[in-house]
Copies of this chain bind each other. A is one copy, B any other.
Amino acid sequence: MSYDYAILTDFYQLTMANGYLLKGIAHNNAVFDLFFRSAPFNGVYAICYGLSKAIRDIHEMKFSDDAINFLQEQQLFSDDFFDYLSNFKPKLNIRTIEDGRVIFPYETVAQVEGPLIQCQLIETYLLNSFNFPTLCATKANRMWLTSEKQSILEFGLRRAQGPNGAITASEAAMVGGCTGTSNVLAGKLHDIPISGTQAHSWIMAFDNELEAFRAYAEIYPKNCILLIDTYDTIEGCKNAVIVGKELEEKGEKLIGVRIDSGDLAYFSRQVRKILDEAGLDYVKVVASNDVDEYVIAEIKRNKGNIDLWGIGTKLATCYDDPALGGVYKLVEINNEPKIKISSNVEKMTIPSKKQVYRIYNGDGFMSGDIMELKEKKTLEEGYVYDPLNPMRFYNLKNPARVEALLHLRMSEGKIVSELNDWKKARECMERDIEFLPDTSKRLLNPQNYRVSISQSIHDLRTHLIETYIGKDK
């Protein structure tokens, strides 16, 4: 699945890049911050994913002859630009928070430093690599937590964006907490456990349901989950019991029954009862049909008895909030801090090179993230400010533990630290999410998590705003 990703970019990145070269500013040293402004799904956090892959791809980035020919046809660019693209070699420094970690609005998730032209040429690809995978890992995480860490299978392939947007979704879902996917190609490409049983068409292809169940159990005696709602869920469950007993006689065990319609709470209770009364208490109940974290919560409140969830559309499309607004903003050029002024305060950028520090309380729980100027090297105690409103501040004193989150991944174009694959990212998520306070994880009105800027950043930013406003007047 290779594609010409050097030109998987917005056209304006190329017109700007060509312009920077012609104006002699292409090699000015720029610093860009990647961050997002609001947590998805009315939550307060996200699960970071996609940065490692982006860095690996940026490391290999090349403009193919094919790509260059195509750009030449546009008759808009200079020969110098094509020379530059032909000899493109990444010289960037990239610092990021680790894939799999819990991240929050307004904090710098990745900081890219290097020649202005290169920072610009990777922008779109980096954002595309981060936005959806992070969104989807976060959605999966919400479902996994709400299910109390039950097994969740991702099966949204048929509703995902095009023939392979789904593959991205399957991988990100694993980082967030899923157990496997129905997507065979995603399984093959990314070593994700795959699973699946039968659809309604299997049942309908036989003369009756019992015959269809028996046929399936005969072929897959060790992997048998039966779909029981094609005609009538309760009758279907009774047929599954017959087949479960027949499997027992052969020394095998029915793994589960799946319900894909109707009131999942009600039917799961009924089905559980029928199975238990038949001595099939080991048989799992699998539920699907437009499930998301809210449905899971409601079914649990209604004492539904479900062991395993199949989640399609709501996860693969991140249905209730299908875009993460990750952005990438210039914060410094040739050592001069830069700011974008806006009449919307939430669109003002936070200037300069930074480190992000995570503060833990005495119980080991995360209690806030603070951005400090990178040049300070450590987090200084004292007043820290809400980046949206300096009226909200607090005095940081004696934090129990402080952890720096941004680490150098790429130095002068070389990869210099281990990059997380989905399995490592998943482990990282599991460790991290333990120490995010429960109040920040709940579905309704979660408690906000404090992200602050240090006194030095606050002062720098105020100074820049005053200068700019003075300048324009």
- Asked if A378 is at the interface of the complex by the 8 Å CB criterion, the answer is no
B163 adjacent to A3 (CB under 8 Å): yes
Which of A141-149, A181-189, A449-457 has 4 or more CB atoms under 8 Å from chain B?
A181-189
- Asked if A179 is at the interface of the complex by the 8 Å CB criterion, the answer is no
Chain A, 5-39, CB within 8 A of any chain B CB: 5, 7-16, 18-20, 22-23, 25, 28, 30, 32
Q: Which residues of B contact A340 (CB under 8 A)?
A: 200, 204, 230
A201 adjacent to B120 (CB under 8 Å): yes
Q: Which residues of B contact A30 (CB under 8 A)?
A: 205
A158 adjacent to B128 (CB under 8 Å): yes
Chain A, 138-192, CB within 8 A of any chain B CB: 155, 157-169, 182-185, 187-188
- Which of B166, B198, B200, B223 meets A128, CB within 8 Å? B166
- Which of B28, B157, B235, B341 meets A9, CB within 8 Å? B157
B188 adjacent to A162 (CB under 8 Å): no
* CB proximity of A71 to chain B, nearest CB, Å: 8
Could you say how many copies of this chain the assembly holds? 2
Q: Which residue of B lies closest to A28 (CB)?
A: B205
* CB proximity of A96 to chain B, nearest CB, Å: 17
Q: Which residues of B contact A291 (CB under 8 A)?
A: none
* CB proximity of A342 to chain B, nearest CB, Å: 6
A19 adjacent to B157 (CB under 8 Å): no
Q: Bound complex: CA of A184 vs CA of B9, how far in Å?
A: 6
* CB proximity of A434 to chain B, nearest CB, Å: 29
- Asked if A444 is at the interface of the complex by the 8 Å CB criterion, the answer is no
**Would A11 and B163 be within 8 Å (CB), given that A16-B201, A20-B205 are in contact?**
no
B261 adjacent to A196 (CB under 8 Å): no
0 or 1 for each of A208-227: is its CB under 8 Å from B? (1 = yes): 10000001100110010000
* CB proximity of A266 to chain B, nearest CB, Å: 12
- Which of B9, B168, B197, B215 meets A161, CB within 8 Å? B168
Q: Which residues of B contact A208 (CB under 8 A)?
A: 471
**Would A231 and B472 be within 8 Å (CB), given that A15-B196, A116-B205 are in contact?**
yes
Chain A, 89-140, CB within 8 A of any chain B CB: 116, 120, 124-125, 127-129, 131-133
Which of A246-254, A278-286, A325-333 has 4 or more CB atoms under 8 Å from chain B?
A325-333
- Which of B162, B206, B230 meets A164, CB within 8 Å? B162
A12 adjacent to B197 (CB under 8 Å): yes
Write the residues of chain A forming the contact surface with B, with a CB cutoff of 8 angstroms: 1-5, 7-16, 18-20, 22-23, 25, 28, 30, 32, 66-67, 70-71, 74, 76, 116, 120, 124-125, 127-129, 131-133, 155, 157-169, 182-185, 187-188, 194-202, 204-206, 208, 215-216, 219-220, 223, 230-232, 235, 261-262, 313, 317-319, 322-326, 329-330, 333, 338, 340-344, 347, 468, 471-472
For the complex of A and B, list the 10 residue pairs with the smallest distance between their C-beta atoms, beginning with the closest: A165-B165, A162-B168, A161-B165, A12-B196, A11-B196, A161-B161, A127-B158, A322-B322, A10-B182, A317-B322
**Other than the known A8-B164, A70-B188, what 11 A-B pairs have Cβ atoms closer than 8 Å?**
A8-B166, A11-B187, A11-B195, A12-B199, A70-B187, A132-B160, A160-B161, A161-B168, A162-B167, A317-B322, A319-B322
